[in-house]
Structure 1
Amino acid sequence: MEIIRNDDGTLVVPVEPERGPDAEGDEPDAAEEPAGPTTRLLHPGEGGYDEALAEWDLQQHDGEAATSTADGRKEARALVHAVAEDPDHAVADAVAGLDDPSASAEALRHVLAGGVHSVEDFAAEVADAEGGEPLPTHQASKIIGEIVAELE
């Protein structure tokens, strides 16, 4: 089962079902149904969200690792800042103004692939380059996910 990214930024991730012992206390019966749900809904900022978002991105690109260029990263920083500053998160409008959408997408994919600390560091880069305070990690992850989805 694949990870599904919803329009609101939440992720539906597969969960390994738990198996309970049969009535006699032996090993689980292979014919039993799973004891719980087989998916979980993760929201930005929730434990495991950043890792699941990185995994979602990899599955969208057939496991190909992202690469980041200086120009792509610079444009990505400006893009994340613009979306964060707009209360309506006008992602489509912000993306329309990019010189090299592909390089920006790759830079943001590279950030996601690095996990939580990479997102934290990128949020600090955005604040240094564009001004203001660093975005909270969950907010930066959500914005990056929205941008990457729009660029796809």
Structure 2
Amino acid sequence: MDIVRNDDGTLVVPVDPPRIHETDETSAEEVQAQIDAQPTTRVLHPGEGGYDEALAEWDAQQNPDRGAAVSTASGREQARTVVHAVATSPDHAVAPAVDALDDPEALGEALRHVLVGGVHSVEDFAAEVADAEGGPPLPAHQATKIIGEVLAEIDT
């Protein structure tokens, strides 16, 4: 099953079924019933454990032929500008911020590079945005959510 990204930024991820073994008190049918009753998916919210990794995996699913993310200086600069613009926009407008870019592909690569690094990479990037654009650093979960929205917009 593929990871699904909802419009609100949540991700629906597959869950491996638990390993339940037959015992003297349970039959094979009872064990199977217990396994079948377990959820097969889980919803992850930005900031939740595993969210950044799942978002990176979701992004890779969108274009499985894409190579490893390579961040350039210009892409990183655009990424900081766009994340700040979306974060400070009163209506959280992603499309206009992406449309104003010279090189959306470089921006996408820079953001993918941030995601691959995990939570600490996102935290460092949020601090970079604050240093470059002013204001306090975004919480990591908010930065991750914006990164996901920008990547979704670029891929449309």
The TM-score with structure 2 as length reference comes to 0.89
| Separation (CA, whole Å) in 2 of partners of 1:6 and 1:134 | 25
Q: Deviations over 1:26-77 (max 9, x none)?
A: 7967x92524101000011111111111111122231631111100110110
**Is 2:140 the counterpart of 1:137?**
yes
Runs of 5+ unmatched residues, structure 1: none
CA contact (8 A) 1:20 1:28 kept: no
**Contact 1:58/1:64, CA 8 A, preserved across alignment:** no
- The aligned residue for residue 83 of structure 1 is 86
CA contact (8 A) 1:119 1:141 kept: yes
**Which structure has the highest helix share of the two?**
2
Structure 1 Cα separation of the partners of residues 20 and 42 of structure 2: 19
Gaps of 5+ in 2: none
Say whether residues 1:9 and 2:20 are aligned partners: no
Change (3 A) 1:27 1:72: farther
Equivalent position amino acid for 1:149 in 2: A
Alignment of 1:1-152 (within 5 A): 1-22=1-22, 24=24, 32-33=32-33, 34=35, 35-62=37-64, 64-152=67-155
1:23 Cα shift?
Answer: 5.7
The number of residue pairs the alignment matches comes to 151
Percent identity, aligned pairs only?
A: 69
- Alignment deviations for residues 79-135 of structure 1 (CA, whole Å, 9 cap, x no partner): 000000013110011111001011101111111111101100100000000000100
User: Structure 1 CA distance, aligned partners of 2:27 and 2:129?
Assistant: 53
Q: 1:28 to 1:13 in 2, by over 3 A?
A: farther
